[in-house]
Amino acid sequence: MDHTLDYLRESLSNWIDKDETAYRLYHKLENNTYSSERDFANILDQEDIHYLSDRYEELTFLVHKRGEFLTNQEISDELTYDQHFTMRYIMKNDLCTSTDLAKNFYVKKSAITAIINRLVEKDFVRRDRDTKDRRVVYLKLTEKGIRFYEECHKKIHDVVARLISHFTEEEIDAFMNTYEKVAKVLEKAIVEREG
């Protein structure tokens, strides 16, 4: 059985005592052999799909909000979750512009401009005009911004290390593979939508 399906089966096992649909899906996975996720998906009825969609939505919300809460606890009152990830993107991408950020964060440029303005006010980010094309403005972390980001990153890294210590190496691999697959599927859906 595919690792993704193993992970799904394990996730459903947490709900089989409380939920009839979880129980049914769990036993479909437990009692049958599927060569791929597609084979499993092909046997799902509308109720199954609706259930999995609801679980995905609920879990995505909970994981995102709880992760955001823990991250905010570590990055202090000086930085928001979005500001932290904006700084992270700038740190990892040389020659970054507001347009790049808006595109990669799937938000309007005005939302990025507001975040950048706050980061500039805090002296964490600076704007550098391109020497050949003055219309292009690159974003760079200041020395203060780099130091602050690195301190926050270390704290977040420590939180993640404590969290993943609750999982086996196999569980971590299965989760990362599934999460990467979800990211690719979502990216493909966005490309198709923008078509």
E strand intervals along 135-190: 137-141
CA dihedral over 38, 40, 44, 47, signed as positive or negative: negative
177 in any annotated domain: no
Same-domain check for residues 12 and 43:
yes
Same-domain check for residues 99 and 151:
yes
Q: For the chain (length 195 residues), average pLDDT per consecutive 10? A: 71 84 85 82 87 87 87 79 93 92 93 96 95 92 95 89 90 85 86 82
The whole-number pLDDT of residue 117 equals 97
Same-domain check for residues 69 and 82:
no
Residue that finishes a domain, picked among 13, 48, 75: 75
DSSP state of 113: H
Same-domain check for residues 56 and 69:
yes
Same-domain check for residues 33 and 44:
yes
The whole-number pLDDT of residue 69 equals 86
91 in any annotated domain: yes
Strand partners, 96: 139
The whole-number pLDDT of residue 166 equals 93
3-state secondary structure of 96: strand
CA atoms of 70 and 81, how far apart (whole Å): 10
Same-domain check for residues 137 and 88:
yes
What is the Cα gyration radius of the chain?
A: 21
Class of residue 140 by CB neighbours under 10 A (exposed 0-12, middle 13-18, buried 19+): middle
The whole-number pLDDT of residue 190 equals 86
Residue that finishes a domain, picked among 75, 104, 122: 75
Residue that finishes a domain, picked among 46, 75, 104: 75
What's 94's domain CATH number?
1.10.10.10
168 in any annotated domain: no
> What's the CA angle centered on 108, arms 137 and 157, to 5 degrees?
80
Contact between residue 112 and residue 104 where contact means Cβ atoms under 8 Å apart? no
> What is the residue range of 13's domain?
1-75
171 in any annotated domain: no
164 in any annotated domain: no
Same-domain check for residues 59 and 83:
no
Convert 53-86 into a string of H (helix), E (strand) and C (coil).
Answer: HHHHHHHHHHHHHHHHHHHHHHHCCCCCHHHHHH
Structure tokens at 54: 């609801």
The whole-number pLDDT of residue 1 equals 46
Domain count, the chain: 2
The whole-number pLDDT of residue 119 equals 97
E strand intervals along 5-154: 125-129, 137-141
Q: Which helix (H) or strand (E) holds 131?
A: none
Angle between helices 81-92 and 46-75 (to 10 degrees): 90
The whole-number pLDDT of residue 139 equals 97
The whole-number pLDDT of residue 80 equals 86
Same-domain check for residues 122 and 63:
no
81 in any annotated domain: yes
26 in any annotated domain: yes
66 in any annotated domain: yes
